[in-house]
Chains A and B, each alone.
Chain A
Amino acid sequence: MREFSRLYAELDETTSTKRKLDALQAYFSKAAPENAAWAVYFLAGGKPRQAVPVKLLRQYATEYAGLDEWLFDECYNAVGDLAETIAHILPAPKQESDVGLAEWIEQRIAPLRGAAPDEVRAALFRYWDELETSERFLLVKLIGGGFRVGVSRLLVTRALSAIAAVDSKLVAQRLMGWTDGRVQPTAQGFLQLIAAPSATEHAERGGQPYPFSWHMPCRPIPLRWATWRPGRSSGNTTACARNWCHAAG
């Protein structure tokens, strides 16, 4: 969780695509495959189901922090984000832990779904007690099902292709269906994502379409405003149009 929260902070902090790419590559090149698999899932746009209703998260956080509801509301109004509000109001953690992302998701967060309220409460108190602010923020986002991050799937694809030295189109093809929630991300799945291309890969995986850029069918030609001088056409629209075409050509 610590590594993933550092990555999240780095992605969140910078506006530079290159630095985001560097951060992603640094993470993927050293993360354990089972954790990296979940990281790919979240970064590429996977949306986990909500494990605990927001109302309960809020209630338990208020209780744990020892705040009145009105004071929590004031904090929430200032912050504008529930997970961030909760992360800031909780008292400092009493212990440290470094449990990997996969264990968090599979062993700790998933069992909360449908658990009895008392169990959820005890588990949340225990988890909050071992995480620092940025990790608590991520935890609440992951539990509440509201995780979003400012990188595109394309950037994740580029980072994976760079560390694996595999063509990014192939990585993109392998990523198809990765985030639709039908298959759980696993270490093996991640290793397949970054594996060297093999002759039998296509046959083993079965037919999968190439992920062409369906949503961007063509690029418009930019007009060069600076070279279009309507004043010289002396009101002649044909000449004006000709100028335009010439400029844009």
Chain B
Amino acid sequence: MADMVVVRKEGLYCVPGGFYIDPWRPVERAVITHGHGDHARPGHVHYLCATPGMGILRSRLGQINLQGLDYGEMLEHNGVRISLHPAGHVLGSAQVRMEHRGEVWVASGDYKVEPDATCAPFEPVRCHCFITESTFGLPIYRWQAQQAIFDDMNAWWRRNAQEGRCSVMLCYAFGKAQRILSGLDPSIGHIVCHGAVEPLNRIYREGGVALPPTVMVGDVDKAALRQSLVLAPPSAAGSPWIRRFGDFSDAFASGWMQLRGARRRRAVDRGFVLSDHADWPGLMQAIRATGAQRVIVTHGSIPVMVRWLCQNGYDAKGFDTEYGDEEAGEAGDA
């Protein structure tokens, strides 16, 4: 049987269904796995995404022709049964399950297997072929349990507050910021959000996600700022906006902070290893849980994962895609 999903210059294409998954060029029909800029791009005619992710997509792409599909709900298009299943990456993130003539393919988008309080937890979907991401596809990437990381963050914040120093946490504005928020202890001080973060908090709250109270920088007086924690996108580093916090301690939250070299290049006081992507054991766990014999690896450590999977009895290959990595946070998108 021919492959159900192939790579075209526009993006991942479901051949019998005639639609694309997270295409990077404008197309007629696009199924969007989640709202990060490298997966949800403007210019498509019809968009389909998981219902919880609609608010995010609208806020980022404006007035688009968007249809929502509840997790687990089935939709048939050109003989392909499409359903979306939680990927545990960010609010509204989904894996795309496609079934055609008894064959099932699943495209993961970005995912992580550890549950967090801000989105529906990853749900393994049985399939014949699994298209997986591989952002952290090396055995050096093993995450700590998130509660330990939140405890570290709160301890860092508390110590800074005691010393009268503002704490500035740089992180990706969509997803990571809200996940951190959900783990912060608001009894330490105010949580100040950058203008790029607050609108997304609002969408999360509207979607029923409980987040602690946040304020904008103008709402807090100078003395209280010294006890505050500021959530800002990486692009705010070194900007006039951030200089107002005076002698602050800064931190960066990303899976890349696992490595000393990356931490040092960032030149921040603290690096918190918190990722919304699966670590190496997580990737392996997810692949095993699908029961798939065929695995197609996209964005990240493609050659390593393909070689490792082939050695372990899988029929594996790679897809070259144009998905980036929001965790690197260079653009600080949003």
Listed in ascending order, the chain A residues whose CB lies under 8 Å from chain B are 12-16, 19, 65, 67-68, 70-71, 74-75, 78-81, 84-85, 88-89, 92
Neighbouring A residues of B267 by C-beta, 8 Å: 15
Q: Report the count of interface residues on B (CB-CB < 8 A).
A: 19
Neighbouring B residues of A89 by C-beta, 8 Å: 139-140
In the bound complex, do residue B304 and residue A12 qualify as a contact, i.e. CB atoms below 8 Å apart? no
State the majority secondary structure of interface residues on A.
helix
A16-B269, A75-B140, A78-B138 known; A68 and B259 CB under 8 Å? Answer: no
Q: Which of B139, B271, B311 contacts A13 (CB 8 A)?
A: B271
| A86 to B, closest residue via Cβ | B140
In this complex, which of B140, B142, B271, B308 has the most chain A Cβ atoms within 10 angstroms of its Cβ? B140
In the bound complex, do residue B260 and residue A74 qualify as a contact, i.e. CB atoms below 8 Å apart? no
In the bound complex, do residue A81 and residue B311 qualify as a contact, i.e. CB atoms below 8 Å apart? no
B 250-275 to A, binary, CB cutoff 8 A, 1 in contact else 0? 00000000111101000101110000
Q: Which of B259, B270, B271 contacts A78 (CB 8 A)?
A: B259
Neighbouring B residues of A80 by C-beta, 8 Å: 261
Neighbouring A residues of B263 by C-beta, 8 Å: 13
Q: Which of A15, A16, A68, A78 contacts B140 (CB 8 A)?
A: A78
Neighbouring A residues of B258 by C-beta, 8 Å: 88
Neighbouring B residues of A71 by C-beta, 8 Å: 139, 304, 308
Listed in ascending order, the chain B residues whose CB lies under 8 Å from chain A are 138-142, 258-261, 263, 267, 269-271, 301, 304, 307-308, 311
C-alpha gap A28/B307 in the complex (Å): 49
A12-B260, A68-B311, A81-B260 known; A88 and B142 CB under 8 Å? Answer: yes
In this complex, which of A19, A89, A92 has the most chain B Cβ atoms within 10 angstroms of its Cβ? A89
In the bound complex, do residue A79 and residue B140 qualify as a contact, i.e. CB atoms below 8 Å apart? yes
7 nearest A-B pairs in the assembled complex, by CB-CB distance? A88-B140, A75-B140, A74-B304, A89-B139, A14-B269, A75-B138, A78-B138
Q: What distance in Å separates the Cβ of A26 from its nearest Cβ neighbour in chain B?
A: 12
Q: What distance in Å separates the Cβ of A58 from its nearest Cβ neighbour in chain B?
A: 14
Neighbouring A residues of B301 by C-beta, 8 Å: 74
In the bound complex, do residue A84 and residue B259 qualify as a contact, i.e. CB atoms below 8 Å apart? yes
